Structure 1
């Protein structure tokens, strides 16, 4: 039974009460392992029936409330036989990690479960992707990997922890590339100083101050030296420093911008001061962490031998070291997955493609991301506020395109719009003022909840022009001055005397409209003069509590949470607010920006993250169009992560598996054009009418093949029990009885209902490389109510010329087909033709008349097109495309494997055959009638590997010998 909203909320209350009772009476501690059965018991106890969708929603909600981390990380490797070298318990001295671990526990915002997961699972997994710094070897070595997190999800804590564990394991040099603006670099340097160095040099009120911070407050001896500070990047005379890495017994850190000038100075100093002439390398192990690795690091030049300067200098720095690791961190990996894996520049160094590993970080259930906000059925969709009072000009009109001075002057003085110029100074929308008032009211609620010392912020991101940002600041300042003046001088301490005031009425209307989900605080509490004034104004100093600042590339000091931990701010900006910069305690976001790409759009969403104790208060003011875009990007990002998880399950490597990224939205690009030079467009059919697809690639895991055998065995038993007609699949007669006999013929079950077929497809396993045989796409197509002609199926078990027979009860009379097995990189491939089917399969289950009709229609089309008909084989697809009323076909093959001829280059194929232990390989094909000519398509952008595996021209079809 589907729960309505009232029943759902009551069930949530009942489950929460049940869990609280268990905590009190039996010391129950909710974990990933025990939370689901506990919820099941609570549902059973309630006596209310729930369907599986409701149970899933209830589980997700309780996991969130209990802060249970439920999505673990996944890694895909270049070598799944990777020998682990890092174990927490074998590290001799945990100086850096122990300090950081204690710091996270005492001062961090991460919950204990997530910290422990970081220590016990995530960081050891990543460490084992790196080189062992103490391992002896000859020559140089470089590993490249990518770590994918979520926007505002705690990536900094992850790479800070990684630096600590790497330092304890023996890494000497750490280079951290911290964004492209000085504000981002300073913010990152500050966090590294607190979590690793323990000492900082920073500017406070134009004065240089230094001292112990964070982990350094334990007063232990410092073992880390930073060559950069919050005041200074590696600039000007930094490359002239006479010291060397070897002169420091400590960990040496560099926190630098992704700026060509800065990186060149760092490269020159490393090369000139630290190279060992005997090895022509720096003999200290190095870890380079590239934060926001999709930004400014990806090679965007057309000629791979002339990469962009930033990309080239990063690679040159890596190439200086004997042992180097490049680890990119990003929440928007769209650009990274389109790096050409085969690119080599003139220095013979591969591009920054994550060849060796890709790791998706675990996502705590308390994380609030796009998937929880921008879908109508999700909990935080209610936190959206749609901006409807901005009227855009007609950008297609002649007057706008003409760009006349009079037209631009009029637009600059008019109401705000997307494509405003840098000279715009007009009228801002009323919704901006409404959102600011919401911010003030949310501050009051947080104060009343006892969070008075917590930082608060509001984001206003409307323009990339600094001049326009200043115009917005002046406007916001006027709103705030009027608000404070009215409260201070017109409001009475007795709230009942204020009810006729226009501001009182306005705030009441806003409260009823935007805060109806706040249940612990009433409007009567909020509207009191002392509460309203106290939220925005410091009576003792006679100045506003709310700072209004423009945040751009050089203004990081304005967001100084260290000097003012309770900072309340309205931050107005563009680029600096669009990537990397963290706004603490973000309550209200007013976002009206036009951006063209998935990655930039997601990075602009600084509202993603954690909202402990105020997840009912945060608001996102946004246009309906932008909300639609965010929903689309969220789906694309989730699909990408799901693909990576499936890649791990099938032991596919970054180079082996073709990545596709959903590209449904015409208004948005996935990433910048110059980052998608090797991307290809794929139109994936949602309609399979008139097509047949098969599974020429097998999962490298032999147990998957065994699972499929069990599914086939069970399926056949159901078919026999159902009494479906069972007969020969091919009507052709055989003249040579000495060669072929009835025992060799394929058999089929007729008129099998689609429900059995869907259930079977849902339970089998198929290699992801079989992109055309995408089980979920097939199931979706079959189950779509618009799909006709698929209610009854023919199920074929194909015979062949093998030495053995089907080992399935009831099918023992069918001789197995034989196919040669080859290795395609790390994928097992049946035959060298990239398909298991010939031509005869199209004729299965057809009468002679139907076969002749399909062939005639095919030849008629050829003649109409002017093609040569003489001597051409009728293609397999024709028997489906030109027969709109035939039944769909599911073909199942138990294949006898033949060892490849070239055993030297097919070692894994031979190993795979041996791992089968004499069992047959299971392969499938599905064909549909040509009921319609066209169907829906899904648009994707795919990387080079996907293209090579799935989109290159197939070899000509070969006529199989008839049975």
Structure 2
């Protein structure tokens, strides 16, 4: 407490300050009012200081806002007198670790504080919260809704997917966690009943002393009803009901895919709803590609012009880096949980192309599909032995977007499961031995001790197999199926679920343990959303397995880099104080995948690649091609020889990790030498985003603008290994880069050549400086060397072995020294500098099942609403 006033009195006045600011008052007007009421000046200033201190306490999350906008800081976090947030927080504390609840509290307070205060005379906010696939976005937006209601937002609308199953799942979560039995909420929807309200909005907006909430499917019929119900209240009544519109899976259906003259139906309806005089729109998605490509110049559209929030990665979250490796660590290939489906089996698991071909297709049970079913039985039995029978367990089979294919796949899976059940029940030696072999092989590849769980022996598991196998249901979940996946029963669900898009958009697969996945995709967002295995696996982390093709594994590995780069961009722009309208997040292009559907990219500036601020590096090599390996090391030697012959003097550069370690190389290397080297170096055919043509074209374009005229060439060196004599440099030790195991025998994919620490090399540092890390290092590099490129040469030991005990890495075993190169580009001298790039064409409506399901749901909802009106 202070000398003059007790803390509780200051707190009470700080609460009043917060309430007035939320009502649209400025701090100056609050000061004036309190002085009129004869409140002492020192108490006023103490209260305002405490309010501002609370504001500072909610910072610390990556968020990009307009620093020069008209936004006034107003929300300082929850208060003791709040009605809506405390019960939600209590419910979350029973479900989540304390740290996770703290993170949700912090992120949602910050998000709300960057929207306009609900008492502001008029506002129309647009925001985006970037989460992770299956990471708790629903929990996050429920917390945001509760706090918004406490702050004075009257009408909360949650948009939830395009299917009834997803809307019902969201409604169930909202009812359970957010609404509960509170009389402070007025639910406008319920499970099984989408929005069809007939109660007058005017009375609810002006007389109900609480908040209204609706969970609405992204469906034209429902959105028209919502819009008309709201506007029917009249402008004055609407001004009494500030609107928060939360768009879950915001890159689905909400994006305008119409032509220049006319917006698509759902997008146009959302814009109509957001004409509400006091409205805030917050999009939630883990795949923001389409949202970041909306035209920011169109103020009525949904581009997140006011704020972009990057949620921190939750503790215990299984994301791409856990399964596919950390992009900054060359030796990290992820957990050994992914199993390869041979190309032949993958082809037979998918129906043939062509109209109606699925109707004559007869799938066969591949050996890996059978193995995945056996593992699901074993892993579920292990979960039960370890944690009891009170938890859900699910297997996902995702082979096609076509609903008929799901039913035909169910038939062969059902037959296989029945035969396995009989074999277990009759102690058939063949089936029991097969199960035993799978258990021994898999339980040793990812040991339980890796996650501090006790190991289970075969004899412990065997008695539980029969009951487990008998409990498994086979469920087809698509818009045509009657028996849909549900976790609502008191009895835990144990199911093999076969489906398509209904399983890849928002729907949570509880206790997902085994996944068999051959569904092809041609866009980033589609592929990432299919990754239902991302999420939380507490208590059975070691038991998760995924079967997929090598191609899909490579794509997911590539997308882990794309995803991290977007988050790094947001972090950097936040530090530089840029607004979302200046953000222009660069999305790395991929040779085989489009960013999103072509119709969602119509406002993209270009479909090209820029190396500005990037670090392209060679990661794929033909390890048995001795002639190519020899040509590449000769190209590296020729470059160094040329530099030395024309007067270049070898110099020393600080290496990553310790400034006492020095590397050798050259400064002030002319660009023509680098271009000549690139002309001699042979890139692998699979290194399609880093080719001689792309690199050379970009460098020449930069030279026209006075950049990249001078380079630094640094020879990276390992602590041991084979010694190589290089012109002008002398002997250097080779570096170790093992290859990813279980991939094409001839192709060595090392995944990462340049570690995060390696990027220190080539930058000038003072002897007493400690180089920064992560995105801060990139910022510093651009400041110190704004127009210089850095070429790093790696001579990789031909025998490079993985770390002891690694199951995900294999020895390189190359026919010769492998020469890798890494190019560090500064920020481009022309922000729009880019080079043309060929990417896969994406049809406008790739997701046939989703489109059919949405159309069928729309027809059904139109009829239901018509029938309601007639009644």
What TM-score bracket applies, with the shorter chain setting the length? 0.5 to 0.7
Give the structure 2 partner of residue 422 of structure 1. 358
Cα drift, residue 422 of structure 1: 3.0
Q: Runs of 5+ in structure 1 lacking a partner? A: 1-70, 199-215, 344-348, 394-413, 492-497, 538-544, 690-749, 763-777, 791-834, 845-888, 893-920, 954-963
In the other structure, the counterpart of 1:431 is 368
Q: 1:677 aligns with which of 602, 606, 619?
A: 602
Does residue 75 of structure 2 align to residue 118 of structure 1? no
| 2: CA distance, partners of 1:472 / 1:240 | 49
Query: Deviation at 1:937?
Result: 11
Of residues 408, 430, 453, the one that matches 2:390 is 453
Q: Hey, what's the Cα distance between the residues in 1 that align with 2:367 and 2:706?
A: 68
Q: Structure 1, residues 637-681: CA drift from partner, whole Å, max 9, x if none? A: 1001101101111111111133211113x2211111111113213
Residue 99 of structure 1 is matched in structure 2 by 87
Shift of 1:837: 11
CA shift in 2, pair 1:502/1:842, >3 Å: closer
- 1:866-903 alpha-carbon deviations (Å, 9 max, x no partner): xxxxxxxxxxxxxxxxxxxxxxx9999xxxxxxxxxxx
Matches of 2:614 and 2:149, distance apart in 1: 54
1:532 aligned residue: 465
User: In structure 2, how many angstroms separate the alpha carbons of the residues matched to 1:757 and 1:837?
Assistant: 31
Cα deviation digits, residues 677-735 of structure 1 (max 9, x gap): 1321334359999xxxxxxxxxxxxxxxxxxxxxxxxxxxxxxxxxxxxxxxxxxxxxx
Question: What residue is the counterpart of 2:841 in the other structure?
Answer: none
Residue of structure 2 aligned with 1:467, choices 379, 393, 404: 404
Residue 546 of structure 1, CA deviation: 1.2
The residue that corresponds to 2:318 in the other structure is 368
Structure-2 residue corresponding to 1:386 = 340
Q: 2:77: which partner in 1?
A: 88
Q: Distance in 2 between matches of 1:470 and 1:837?
A: 60
How many Å apart are 1:479 and its aligned residue? 1.9
Whole-angstrom CA distance in 2 between matches of 1:617 and 1:688: 37
What corresponds to 2:205 in structure 1? Answer: 245
Q: 1:325 aligns with which of 246, 256, 280?
A: 280
Q: How does 1:647-666 map to 2 (within 5 A)?
A: 647-664=573-590, 666=591
3-state SS of 1:390 partner: helix
Write out per-residue CA displacement over residues 437-457 of structure 1, whole angstroms, 9 at most, x where no aligned residue.
100000111111133211111
- CA drift at 1:122: 1.2
| Conserved 8 A contact 1:133-1:169 | yes
Cα 1:466–1:242 shift into 2, 3 Å: farther
Partner of 2:539: 613
Q: Give, in angstroms, the shift of residue 559 of structure 1.
A: 3.1
SS of equivalent residue, structure 1 residue 88: coil
How far, CA to CA, are the matches of 2:613 and 2:507 in structure 1? 44
The corresponding residue for 2:154 is 172
Kept in 1: contact 2:247–2:283 (CA 8 A) = yes
Partner of 2:431: 503
**Residues in 2 aligned to 1:356 and 1:639: alpha-carbon distance in whole angstroms:** 21
SS at match of 1:175: strand
Deviation string, structure 1 residues 497-532 (Cα, Å, up to 9, x no partner): x6xx1101111221232221345344432552x311
> Which residue, out of 171, 182, 185, partners 1:224?
185
* Aligned twin of 1:75: 63
Quote how far apart the aligned CAs of 1:248 are: 2.6
Distance 1:565 1:688 in 2: 52
- Correspondence for 1:514: 442
CA 1:557/1:288 → structure 2, altered by over 3 Å: closer, same or farther?
A: farther
Write out per-residue CA displacement over residues 416-446 of structure 1, whole angstroms, 9 at most, x where no aligned residue.
Answer: 4564743122323221111011000001111
Partner of 1:131: 116
* Kept after mapping to 2: 8 A contact 1:418/1:594: no
Residues 439-476 of structure 1, C-alpha deviations (whole Å, 9 max, x = no match): 00001111111332111111111122222211112222
Paired with 1:843 and 1:374, the residues of 2 have a C-alpha distance of 36
CA distance in 2, matches of 1:628, 1:553: 31
Whether the 8 Å contact between 1:72 and 1:363 is mirrored in structure 2 is: no
Residues 658 and 946, structure 1, Cα contact 8 Å, conserved in 2: no
- In the alignment, the residues of structure 2 paired with residue 232 and residue 430 of structure 1 have an alpha-carbon distance, to the nearest angstrom, of 44
Aligned: 1:334 with 2:196: no
Partner of 1:359: 309
Indicate which of 247, 254, 272 corresponds to 1:297.
Answer: 254
CA distance 1:572–1:838, shift in 2 (3 Å): closer
Which of 309, 312, 326 does residue 268 from structure 2 map onto?
Answer: 312
Q: 1:630 aligns with which of 551, 556, 567?
A: 556
Equivalent residue, structure 2, for 1:191: 173
Task: Classify 1:513/1:453 alpha carbon distance in 2 versus 1 (closer, same or farther; 3 Å).
Answer: same
Once the two structures are superposed, the pairs formed by residues 603-752 of structure 1 within 5 Å of their partners are 603-664=529-590, 666-679=591-604, 680-685=606-611
Retained in 1: the 8 A contact 2:403–2:480? no
Q: Distance in 2 between matches of 1:843 and 1:550?
A: 61
Change (3 A) 1:72 1:480: farther
Structure with greater Cα Rg: 1
Normalising by structure 2, we get a TM-score of: 0.63
2:833 match: 951
CA contact (8 A) 1:686 1:937 kept: no
1:149 corresponds in structure 2 to 131
Separation in 2 of the partners of 1:226 and 1:183? 19
CA RMSD, Structure 1 to Structure 2 (Å): 4.2
Map residues 773-852 of structure 1 onto 2, 5 A cutoff.
none
Shift of 1:949: 3.8
Give the 3 Å change call, closer, same or farther, for CA 418–294 of structure 1 in structure 2. farther
* Contact in 1 for aligned 2:477/2:483 (Cα 8 Å): no
Match of 2:243 in 1: 286
Structure 2: how far apart are the matches of 1:546 and 1:591? 19
- The whole-number CA distance in structure 2 between the counterparts of 1:579 and 1:667 is 22
| Secondary structure in 1 matching 2:250 | coil
Once the two structures are TM-superposed, the CA of residue 280 in structure 1 deviates from its matched residue by 8.9
Q: List per-residue Cα deviations over 1:322-357 (Å, max 9, x = no partner).
A: 2110000000001111111112xxxxx521000001
Distance apart, 1:244 and its partner CA: 4.1
